[in-house]
C-alpha cells in the first residue's frame, strides 16, 4: 500500500465539498484525532507519513462523514464554552448558538449562592458551563432520557464540578424546592420541518429536536408550569428557533411573566427569550408565589 503524507491526506477534504459546510476543518479534526495530535501538528509536519493502520482508521471516519455522520459523533466529543464534553447519539450535539443561553444566565445573577435548574440538560453543556463560571451556584441538571443523564454525570465528574446535581425525570418532575433561575434548550423544531432530513439533524435523536406540529409544545409546557418552581423575582430563560421569538414572548406574557425580552445570536437571529416571575398578590393584597 502506498504511504501517504499528512499533506496528501488533508487534500481529501475535497471529497466533502457539497456534503459539509466546513470540509477542510472536518478533515483536520478527523486526522488530528487519528494521529492523537493537535491540528497545528498537521501543518508543522506535513510530510510525515501515516501508517497503514492510521490511514485505514482515517478512511473509515471520512467515509462515515461523507455519509453525513456528524463530526462530534465521530470524535466522541464537542467543545462548548470552555469545556470539552463527551457526546453520544443519545443527546443533541452542543452548538455555539446555545452559548448565548449561558451568557444571558450569567449576566442576570451575581456570583453568590443561587439555585438553578437546567431542564433537558442532554450532555450537561449549559449546566456545566454555568457551574464552571459560578462555583457558588447550586445547579440541578435534569433529563428524562436515562442515557443522557448518565452522560451528563460523566461530563460533570470529568470536570470535577461538585456544584451540579444530575437528576433523571421529565422537565420539572425531579426538582425539589424553588429556584432563582430556570434555563432550558428544549426541543423546538416543527414535526414536518424539512431540515430534519438534512445534515447533522438526521443523526440526532428526534425526541430532542421535535416538539409538536408548531415546535412549541414543550416550550408551552415549560412556560405554563415554571412559576410553581421559581422563587419570587426568579427568571426563566429559553432557547428557541430563529422564527419563534414573537410567539415565545407572547407565551411568557400570557402566563404572567414580566421583563419579557428576546436576545439574538451571532447570526442576528432571535434565539433566547426570558421573563421574570414577580411576586404576585391575591385578591386580598397578600403576596403569593
Q: Kindly state whether residues 42 and 139 are assigned to the same domain.
A: no
Q: Kindly state whether residues 134 and 236 are assigned to the same domain.
A: yes
Q: Kindly state whether residues 42 and 145 are assigned to the same domain.
A: no
Q: Kindly state whether residues 104 and 194 are assigned to the same domain.
A: yes
Per the domain annotation, does 114 fall within a domain?
Answer: yes
Q: Kindly state whether residues 175 and 277 are assigned to the same domain.
A: yes
Check residue 283 and give its pLDDT: 44
CATH code of the domain containing 95: 3.40.50.150
Check residue 282 and give its pLDDT: 47
Check residue 201 and give its pLDDT: 76
Per the domain annotation, does 43 fall within a domain?
Answer: yes
Check residue 15 and give its pLDDT: 86
Spacing of C-alpha 80 from chain mean position: 8
Range of the domain at 23: 6-68
Q: Kindly state whether residues 49 and 146 are assigned to the same domain.
A: no
Check residue 219 and give its pLDDT: 96
Q: Kindly state whether residues 46 and 177 are assigned to the same domain.
A: no
Check residue 269 and give its pLDDT: 95
Per the domain annotation, does 83 fall within a domain?
Answer: no
Q: Kindly state whether residues 250 and 139 are assigned to the same domain.
A: yes
Q: Kindly state whether residues 202 and 102 are assigned to the same domain.
A: yes
Q: Kindly state whether residues 19 and 119 are assigned to the same domain.
A: no
CA angle 125, 126, 128 (to 5 degrees): 70
Check residue 3 and give its pLDDT: 85
Check residue 285 and give its pLDDT: 47
Q: Kindly state whether residues 57 and 199 are assigned to the same domain.
A: no
Per the domain annotation, does 49 fall within a domain?
Answer: yes
Q: Kindly state whether residues 111 and 48 are assigned to the same domain.
A: no
Per the domain annotation, does 283 fall within a domain?
Answer: yes
Per the domain annotation, does 82 fall within a domain?
Answer: no
Per the domain annotation, does 84 fall within a domain?
Answer: no
Check residue 289 and give its pLDDT: 52
Check residue 13 and give its pLDDT: 82
Of 34, 68, 102, the residue at which a domain comes to its end is: 68
Spans of the chain, pLDDT less than 50? 281-283, 285
pTM of the predicted structure, to 2 decimals: 0.89
Per the domain annotation, does 80 fall within a domain?
Answer: no
Query: DSSP assignment of the chain, as one string?
Result: ----BHHHHHGGGGGGBTTBS-HHHHHHHHHHHHHT--HHHHHHSTTPBPPHHHHHHHHHHHHHHHTT--HHHHHTEEEETTEEEE--TTSPPP-GGGHHHHHHHHHHS-SS-EEEEEES-TTTHHHHHHHHH-TTEEEEEEESSHHHHHHHHHHHHHTT-TTEEEEESSTTTT--S-EEEEEE----B-TT-GGGGSGGGGGS-GGGTB-TTTS-HHHHHHHHHGGGTEEEEEEEEEE--TT-HHHHHHHHHHTT-EEEEEEE-TTS-EEEEEEEEPPEE-TTS-EE-
What's the domain count of the chain?
2
Amino acid at each position: 500500500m502506498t504511504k501517504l503524507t499528512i499533506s496528501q491526506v488533508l487534500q481529501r477534504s475535497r471529497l466533502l465539498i457539497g456534503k459539509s459546510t466546513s470540509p477542510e476543518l472536518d478533515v483536520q479534526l478527523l486526522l488530528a484525532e487519528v494521529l492523537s495530535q493537535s491540528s497545528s501538528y498537521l501543518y508543522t509536519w506535513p510530510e510525515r507519513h501515516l501508517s497503514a493502520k492510521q490511514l485505514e482508521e482515517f478512511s473509515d471516519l471520512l467515509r462515515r462523514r461523507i455519509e453525513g455522520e456528524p463530526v462530534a459523533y465521530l470524535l466522541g466529543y464537542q467543545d462548548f464554552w470552555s469545556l470539552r464534553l463527551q457526546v453520544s447519539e443519545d443527546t443533541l450535539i452542543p452548538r455555539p448558538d446555545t452559548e448565548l443561553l449561558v451568557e444571558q444566565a450569567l449576566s442576570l445573577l451575581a456570583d453568590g449562592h443561587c439555585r438553578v435548574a437546567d431542564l433537558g440538560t442532554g450532555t450537561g453543556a449549559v449546566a456545566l458551563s454555568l457551574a464552571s463560571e459560578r462555583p457558588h451556584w447550586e445547579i440541578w441538571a435534569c433529563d428524562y432520557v436515562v442515557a443522557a443523564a448518565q452522560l451528563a454525570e460523566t461530563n460533570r465528574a470529568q470536570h470535577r464540578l461538585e456544584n451540579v446535581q444530575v437528576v433523571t425525570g421529565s422537565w420539572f418532575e425531579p426538582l425539589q424546592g424553588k429556584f432563582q433561575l430556570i434555563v432550558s434548550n428544549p426541543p423546538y423544531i416543527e414535526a414536518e420541518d424539512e431540515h430534519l432530513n438534512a445534515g447533522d439533524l438526521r443523526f440526532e435523536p428526534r425526541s430532542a429536536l421535535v416538539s409538536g406540529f408548531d415546535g412549541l409544545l414543550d416550550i408551552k409546557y415549560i412556560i405554563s408550569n415554571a412559576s410553581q418552581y421559581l422563587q419570587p423575582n426568579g427568571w426563566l430563560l429559553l432557547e428557541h428557533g430563529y422564527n419563534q421569538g414573537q410567539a415565545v414572548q407572547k407565551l411568557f406574557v400570557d402566563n404572567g411573566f414580566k421583563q419579557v425580552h428576546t436576545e439574538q445570536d451571532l447570526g442576528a437571529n432571535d434565539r433566547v427569550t426570558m421573563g421574570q416571575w414577580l411576586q404576585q398578590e391575591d385578591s386580598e393584597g397578600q403576596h403569593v408565589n
